[in-house]
Amino acid sequence: MSRNRDIRQEFERFAQRYSTLETVPETPRTLLDVIEHSLGTQEKAEVYATRLLRYFLDPSESHGLDDILLRQFIELFPEESAFQEDRTDLSDVTVETEVKVNGAAKLGGTRESDRTGYVDLVVSLPAEWFLMVEVKFYAGENNLTGDRRPQTEFYQAATHVDGVDKDNYESGEYYLYLHPNDTAQATADGFESMAWSTVTSEIIAPVLADHSPRLPQRTVNQLHEFTDDIEDLTGMSEESANRQEKIELYIDHYDAISDVQSTFEGRWEEFTNEWGDLLAETCSDSIRNEWIFRDGTDDWAFLFKHDWWRDAETLEPLGRTETNNNTLRVGFLHRLEHNRDLAVGDRELKFYFRNTPPNRHTTSGDTNFRDEFVANFEARTDSIGDELPEAAYLTGNMHNVIEATYDIPVAEYDDYFEAYLSALNTAFNEHVIENPQLVAELEDAYSETLENFR
């Protein structure tokens, strides 16, 4: 009890100091400012930022980040066209700068001409998907030499990326316009927009806060310096002035924070492995016999009928613990790791019905199954929509086709994980136990897809 009391007192001091973080002293100039990036104007600034960003995103580099920053970068891809690829294993992803983009592209009227350009950054999983990033700081888009169109229109219309036909990327293609403020937009409709402030505050800053003690000190210093340079280039230095003091506050109270966090992490891991059994205890024998609660995974926590998860080759149903990735599956789920900040910070549970996409382990037939299920689901959207609980809605997404949000009633329970389980139980009740008609509609869509697949 004495140790807990000491920690509570330390966090009281932490809270008091945190509440005063309104102004901070002037910080030293960044290295980029000292060497005067203006010597090279906008192009030099963009090359500098792009090369550093590529280095930190590349899992194969020696920075010690592995795929941590890359994963955070992909997670923050604008929601308007959310990144829908499998992220279980990003170790084979490549990250390159100044990538050649070319192919037959319209030049004004109807005449076609083979044009070439170089996009700033390309993140790709060969033969699966690519993410093309155009980097800007000051000016808008340029027209490529010999082509009358802005850069992003050309990049989107071109047929080849680094000599590879875009058609060879079977899963998806994504385009991102990285710019200094929240209002800039690319000319091409296919380019989503992301401000540099998102990179610094929502991508780099969380990585530093969560992983600094385990990263090489040089990498930590470089990330801080890169953040300062970006803020200087984009005029965000006032916005981020108190970030450094918050980091110092974290360091000053690191022992207490680590103690509390370690305790929570341990309990979270236990819950990851037991939520299925705990939920099953609240269900009748008939539900336990018909439904499988797939616990024990860090993130994708599925709840599915026994015949909704099948081997793609044999079409035999798989069980609770079988790990075959080459499957045809749909089901409800909650995402423990992906939505942990939402669950703990905002105390909200996200509950989905997912048409699981193929990943790099699967066969081309699974893509047909996915697309066929989407068609059968969409054919029933009116009847499915009529049966949805109040908390749920149809997303229009081909993977998470239904999404619902439930409050985690922390104030009603002494234990956070009991509150989480309560929210999950409510979600399962409203979608399954109390909603046989919704389950029947989903069963019909899956059965029809499976029959056509046979």
Banded pLDDT at 239 (limits 50, 70, 90):
very low
Tens digits of residue pLDDT in 246-259: 778 788 888 888 88
Question: What total of structural domains would you count in the chain?
Answer: 2
- Higher-scoring residue by pLDDT: 105, 4: 4
Based on the domain organization, do 232 and 267 belong to the same domain? no
Tens digits of residue pLDDT in 318-332: 766 666 667 788 999
For the chain, state the CA radius of gyration: 25
Based on the domain organization, do 75 and 194 belong to the same domain? yes
pLDDT at 26 over 60: no
Based on the domain organization, do 290 and 433 belong to the same domain? yes
For 333, phi then psi, to 5°, come to -160, 160
Based on the domain organization, do 282 and 157 belong to the same domain? no
Tens digits of residue pLDDT in 143-167: 554 556 778 888 888 889 988 899 8
Give CA–CA dist 216/265, Å, rounded: 23
Based on the domain organization, do 168 and 272 belong to the same domain? no
Scanning 281-359, the segments in alpha helix (DSSP H) are 285-290, 340-341
Which of 181, 205, 236 is the last residue in one of the domains? 236
pLDDT at 360 over 80: no
Which of 236, 267, 292 is the last residue in one of the domains? 236
Give CA–CA dist 342/421, Å, rounded: 15
3-state secondary structure of 114: strand
Based on the domain organization, do 74 and 185 belong to the same domain? yes
Residue with tokens 């680590």: 258
- Higher-scoring residue by pLDDT: 25, 197: 197
Contacting residues for 451 by C-beta, under 8 A, at least 6 apart: none
Which domain covers residue 274, as residue numbers? Answer: 259-453
Banded pLDDT at 28 (limits 50, 70, 90):
low
| Residue 247 falls inside a structural domain | no
pLDDT at 398: 86
Based on the domain organization, do 199 and 320 belong to the same domain? no
Banded pLDDT at 241 (limits 50, 70, 90):
low
pLDDT at 208 over 70: yes
Distinct helix (H) and strand (E) counts, the chain:
16, 14
Banded pLDDT at 109 (limits 50, 70, 90):
very low
Tens digits of residue pLDDT in 373-414: 999 999 999 999 999 999 999 998 888 999 999 999 999 999
pLDDT at 209: 92
| Residue 2 falls inside a structural domain | no
| Residue 18 falls inside a structural domain | no
Give CA–CA dist 176/200, Å, rounded: 16
pLDDT at 237 over 80: no
Scanning 128-253, the segments in alpha helix (DSSP H) are 151-157, 196-198, 205-211, 217-234, 243-252
| Residue 248 falls inside a structural domain | no
Pair 149, 143: CB distance under 8 Å? yes
- This prediction's pTM: 0.53
| Residue 11 falls inside a structural domain | no
DSSP state of 358: P
